[in-house]
Amino acid sequence: MRSLCLLLATLILPGLCLSTGNAAERPNVLIIMADDCTYNDLPAYGGQNARTPNIDQLVRQGLTFNRAYLGEAMCQPCRAELYTGQYAMRNGCAWNHSASRPTTKSLPHHLGPLGYRVGIAGKVHVKPAKAFPFEKVQGFDQNCVRNPTQPHDLEAIRTFMQKDPQQPFCLVVALVEPHVPWVMGDASQYPPAKIKLPPNIADTPRTRQDFGRYLAEITYMDGQVGEILQALEETGKADETLVLFTSEQGSQFPGCKWTNWDTGLHTALIARWPGHVPAGERTDAVVQYADVVPTLIEVAGADVPDEGLDGRSFLTVLTGEAEGHREYAYGMHNNIPEGPAYPIRTITDGRYRYIRNLMPNEIYIEKHLMGMRGDGSLNNPYWSTWVRDSWENPHIYMLVKRYMSRPAEQLYLTADDPYEMTNLAGDPAHAEVQARLSAELDRWMKEQGDPGAAQDTQEAIQAARQGRHLYGRE
């Protein structure tokens, strides 16, 4: 019997050591997500209104990515990309309120075998459960449209962080602010008359009022960030934890969420890892949500798989060993089920953005932004004031037309025109850039098995919801 035990120990223990490694060499990971927060409404990215002392402190403690992007400016597709390391066509979630492929692997599949406990608190909004087997952690509201948001409680995330001192954790805390309805925070701190509206937002009294409520939710969200980081500090694990804060896609104002403009797809990304990530620095390296999973795999001390991921690890950027990462970031939009079909594809090199509207003869309609709730009240009352005032205000008319009627191609020098108000497509001075980006977008679409307009159909989304994806790269 003793010989049998020794034999079993010889066979089993090395395998256990391989799967769990040395906890001291594997940092914890804490990902904090905002919800529908336009990146450059944050002071960290030039925002002139919102007050975010906790995020500002995180900037001073970590590395801020100036050029971080997600692949689709809607909650479910961008989260599926973040958690899988795959673009929408590969993981299968290419529309909002749809589903990834049942065979998709996500953070729990990748980090679990490396010895991590992988949990999520707050908003989940990814399907199917088989593809995203996170441990559910309580304490934060999962419903992004509840009015008001339920009070949060830090005890569950604190317990999760402390559960096993020998086992590292990866925890996503997905907040629901500043997603509409904008009802949290103190809007009186943002008097409408004092707000500095961005040039892509129409200046009407109702817009100013609603923008102030949105800013109040950003400050409320920032308070939650501070509380979460304080809870981490109280566990004694802050120095051995990689913290990533991201703002998700743009806000629910026209030209941000549900679009391929930069204010839709550009996201805030701030990383803190004491002793590993330089403090108070910024980087122009182009990164995308798909790059996070391979980065965390490498952070955990494992080799990144050669196949099955679209992203690449940016660990060397985190540690200051590299200044650049990817050449291009890619994006897409399929409008169903948020409105009639209006498929869009885009690419950026960090300086220029090229957008291709695949059905430019149609008008763009987004039912949430433009429509009513079930009780007959308007989802976003400011939109009707844009339409009302457009007949006598040329700038507002231009913004309404810009949103609803778009040319086949758009090109912006985003580095100098961050709100992308000047379309350079067709300008001979930028013809070479346009041709380069257009050709690379073609290559990427072909590689991903993206049929373009055929993807933005009821047939395609219904098949995806049933696990029968019609197109894509598996």
Q: Looking at 326, 344, 370, which one is the last position of a domain? A: 326
Most confident of 11-25, 37-51, 361-375: 37-51
Domain that holds residue 434: 332-465
Q: Looking at 280, 308, 326, which one is the last position of a domain? A: 326
Q: Please, how many CA atoms are within 13 Å of residue 14, restricted to the half-sphere of its CB? A: 5
- Average model confidence (pLDDT) across the chain: 94
- The β-bridge relationship of strands 135-137 and 117-122 is parallel
H helix intervals, 62-179: 75-84, 88-91, 107-111, 155-162
Q: Is the pLDDT confidence value at 8 over 80?
A: no
149 in a structural domain: yes
Residue 426's alpha-carbon distances to 175, 225, 358, in angstroms, are 41, 44, 17
For residues 268-289, give the mean pLDDT.
98
Q: What is the pLDDT of residues 168-180, one digit of tens each?
A: 999 999 999 999 9
Which residues lie below 8 Å from residue 329, measured CB to CB, with a gap of 6+?
Answer: 67, 69, 71, 265, 286, 287, 288, 347, 348, 350
15 in a structural domain: no
Using 50, 70 and 90 to split pLDDT, how confident is the model at 2?
very low
For residues 250 and 352, membership in a common domain is answered with no
For residues 259 and 357, membership in a common domain is answered with no
Using 50, 70 and 90 to split pLDDT, how confident is the model at 403?
very high
Residue of 22, 77, 34, 308 lying closest to 172 (CA atoms): 34
Q: What is the pLDDT of residues 191-224, one digit of tens each?
A: 999 999 999 999 999 999 999 999 999 999 999 9
Predicted confidence at residue 13, as pLDDT, reads: 36
For residues 285 and 404, membership in a common domain is answered with no
For residues 322 and 208, membership in a common domain is answered with yes
How far apart CA 105 and CA 83 sit, in angstroms, is 9
For residues 215 and 243, membership in a common domain is answered with yes
How many domains does the chain fold into?
A: 2
Residue of 329, 359, 353 lying closest to 456 (CA atoms): 359
Q: Is the pLDDT confidence value at 21 over 50?
A: no
Predicted confidence at residue 97, as pLDDT, reads: 95
For residues 15-36, give the mean pLDDT.
71
For residues 34-47, give the mean pLDDT.
98
For residues 32 and 114, membership in a common domain is answered with yes
Q: Pick the range with the lowest mean pLDDT from 152-166, 205-219, 367-381, 420-434.
A: 367-381
Q: What is the pLDDT of residues 139-155, one digit of tens each?
A: 999 999 999 999 999 99
For residues 220 and 260, membership in a common domain is answered with yes
For residues 232 and 210, membership in a common domain is answered with yes
**CA R_g for the chain:** 22
How far apart CA 450 and CA 246 sit, in angstroms, is 27
For residues 47 and 175, membership in a common domain is answered with yes
Q: What is the CATH number of the domain that holds 295?
A: 3.40.720.10
For residues 134 and 99, membership in a common domain is answered with yes
Using 50, 70 and 90 to split pLDDT, how confident is the model at 372?
confident
For residues 341 and 305, membership in a common domain is answered with no
Predicted confidence at residue 19, as pLDDT, reads: 37
- The β-bridge relationship of strands 409-413 and 266-272 is unpaired
Q: Looking at 293, 326, 359, which one is the last position of a domain? A: 326
237 in a structural domain: yes
